[in-house]
Structure 1
Amino acid sequence: MSDRPTPVYLDHAATTPMLPVAIEAITAHLGDVGNPSSLHASGRRARRVVEESRERIAQALNCRPSEIVFTSGGTESDNLALKGIFWSRRAADPARTRILSSAVEHHGVLDPLEWLAEQQGAEVELLPVDRLGRLDLDALRASVERDPGSVALISVMRANNEVGTIQPVEEVVAVAAPHGIPVHTDAVQAVGKIPVDFAALGVDALAVAGHKVGGPFGVGALVARRELDVTPLLHGGGHERDVRSGTLDTPAIAGFAAAVEHSVKHQVEQAARISELRDELVRGVRAAVPDAIYNGDPVHRLPGNAHLKFPGCQGDSLLMLLDARGIECSTGSACSAGVAQPSHVLLAMGCSDEFARSSLRFSLGHTSTTADVAALVEAIGPVVERARGAGSPRKADGREPADRAGGSLVATELAGPSAGATG
Structure 2
Amino acid sequence: MAFESLTARLSEAFRRLRGRGRLTEADVDQALREIRLALLEADVSVKVVRPLIGRIREKAVGAEILKSLNPAQQVVKIVYDELVDLLGGTLAELNLARRPAVILMVGLQGAGKTTTAGKLARHLAGRGKKPLLVAADVTRPAAVTQLEVLGRSIDVPVHLPGALTDPVAIAEAGLARARAEERDVVIVDTAGRLHIDAALMAELEAVKAAVRPDEILLVVDAMTGQEAVAVAERFHAALTLTGVILTKLDGDTRGGAALSVKAATGVPIKFAATGERLDALEPFYPDRMASRILGMGDVLTLIEKAQAEVDEQKARELERKLRRAEWTLTDFLDQLRQLKKMGPLEELLKMIPGVGARLGQIQVDEKQLARLEAIILSMTPEERERPEIINYSRRKRIAAGSGTTVADVNRLLKQFEEARKLMKQMAKMGGKKGKGPRGFKFPFPFP
* Global fold match (TM > 0.5): no
Higher helix share: 2
Higher strand share: 1
Whose Rg is larger? 2
Q: Which structure has more RCO (C-alpha within 8 Å, separation ≥ 6)?
A: 1
- TM normalised by structure 2 equals 0.29
- TM normalised by structure 1 equals 0.31
